[in-house]
Amino acid sequence: MSDAVPLLTVEELSRHHDGGAVKALDGVTFAARAGEVVALTGPSGCGKSTLLSLIGLLDQPTRGRVCVAGQSLATVRQPGNFRLQYIGFVFQFHHMVATMTLLENVEAPLIALSLHRAERRERASDMLAQMNLSSRAGFLPANVSGGERQRAAVARALINRPSIILADEPTGNLDSHNNTIVLNLLLAHARSQGALVLIATHNPEIARAADRHIELCDGRLLA
C-alpha cells in the first residue's frame, strides 16, 4: 500500500445508545497513516473507548464506517481473524488469563496462526525479553507486579505484529517509571514496524509524545 493511502479512515462514525438518547460517538471523521502515533484525548465520557472499540470490531456503529487498509469493517465476516491480522489491543486493566504464565499469555495469539510450537515459544520469549521480563516468563499474572503485568499485556498486543495498536489508557494504573517504559515500547513498535498507534489517554506525557492529537468532546471531534 502506498504511503499516500491512509491505513485507517473513519467516516461520519456514530455510536448511539438507548434509542439515540446517548450519543457516545457522533459523526466523527478522520484518517491516520501507518507509522503515526495518535493521542486520543478529551474528558471522561467523550467517546474515546467507544471509538477504539468500533475500530477494533468489538462494537458496531449506529452510522458511518471504518476502513482499514481500504477494507470497510462492515464487510468483515470473521472479526477474530481480522483482529489477529491487523489489531493489537492494550487495555488499562490487562486481561491476562489468570491460569496461564506470562509466557503462555504472550504466546496465545500465535496459536491461531499456523506456526510451529517451537517458533511460537521463541517469538514469545523474544518479546518478553524486549519488555525486560525474561525472569518473569514462568510466573502467573497474579504473582508479578502491576507494571510487569502491563508490560506483558503490551507484549501480547504486539506479538502478532499488528498494523494498528489500539491502546486504551495503557498506563492508567502505572507509576511514572513504568508509564515511561510502556510508552516507549509502544512508540518503538510504531517506528520499527511502521504501525499506527492510537492511544486514548488523560496522561500529558503520552499526549506530548504523540505525533498528533485527536480531541473529542461529547462524542464529536474538536476542530
Choices 38-46, 142-150, 157-165, 205-213; region in contact with ligand ATP by CB under 6 A: 38-46
CA distance 111 to 107: 7
| 211 φ/ψ angles, rounded to the nearest 5 degrees | -70, -35
Interface residue with ligand ATP, options 1, 5, 22, 112 (CB under 6 A): 22
Answer yes or no whether residue 9 interacts with Mg ion by CB under 5 A. Answer: no
**Cα distance between residue 64 and residue 73, in whole Å:** 11
With binding defined as CB under 5 A, does residue 163 bind Mg ion?
A: no
Determine if 49 is a binding residue for Mg ion (CB under 5 A).
yes
DSSP state of 137: T
Partner that binds at residue 17, options Mg ion, ligand ATP, none, CB closer than 5 to 8 Å by kind: ligand ATP
Residue pair 191/36 in contact by the 8 Å Cβ criterion: no
Torsion angle, alpha carbons of 5, 54, 159, 200, to 10: 90
Cβ distance to Mg ion smaller for residue 49 or 203? 49
Three-state DSSP class for residue 218: coil
Pull the grid cell for residue 219: 462524542
List the interface residues with ligand ATP, window 48-77 (CB under 6 A): 48-50
Quote the least distance from Cβ 15 to ligand ATP, whole Å: 8
Position 26 contacts ligand ATP (CB under 6 A): no
Query: Torsion-angle region of residue 12: left (phi > 0), alpha (psi -120 to 50) or beta?
Result: left
Task: Judge whether 119 and 160 are in contact, CB under 8 Å.
Answer: no
User: Which of Mg ion, ligand ATP, none interacts with 46 (beta carbon under 5 to 8 A by kind)?
Assistant: ligand ATP
Binding segment (CB under 6 A) for ligand ATP, from list 16-24, 27-35, 98-106, 121-129: 16-24
Per partner kind, with CB cut-offs from 5 to 8 A, the member of Mg ion, ligand ATP, none near residue 192 is none
Q: Which residues here bind Mg ion, judged by CB under 5 A?
A: 48-49
Q: Which residues here bind ligand ATP, judged by CB under 6 A?
A: 17-18, 22, 24, 44-50
